[in-house]
Amino acid sequence: MPHYIKKYPLSIIVTLVIVYLSFFKPPSGSLPTFPHMDKIVHFLMYAGLSGMLWLEFIRNHQKAFPVGQAWIVAFLFPVALSGCIEILQEYCTSYRGGEWGDFGANTTGALCASLFAFYVLKPFMLKTGKK
């Protein structure tokens, strides 16, 4: 476990922030919103998580890049995490509800970040050899 904390510190922090934000009870009162704002927030949270996982994974695997493992870590993990959180929100909280729309936004965010990282970020980082 300490090995992962050293290699993926920012990804762990982002994951913990997402879990906290998913289960804390929001204060009563209304904030100014616009239609589907929550879906945009879900998209950005999981795009950020997936992007951070890709960034740290590429940085840690510059000599030998295991493509399959990268997709599991940086795409499937955020999607599975979001699915588990949506299920737990639906069945374990009275103040939050799991929604398919939220899961779709989470998956779309992780997919967009993964495609960007795989086709843009990875070639750039591996070409320049930056750590």
Q: Write down how long the chain is.
A: 131
Structure-block tokens of residue 53: 């996982």
- For the segment 39-64, what is each residue's pLDDT rounded down to a tens digit? 999 999 999 999 999 999 999 988 88
- For the segment 76-118, what is each residue's pLDDT rounded down to a tens digit? 999 999 999 999 999 999 888 889 999 999 999 999 999 999 9
What's the pLDDT at 71? 94
Which pTM was predicted? 0.90
On the question of pLDDT at 131 being above 60, the answer is no
> Who has greater pLDDT, 117 or 127?
117
- Chain Cα centroid distance, residue 11: 8
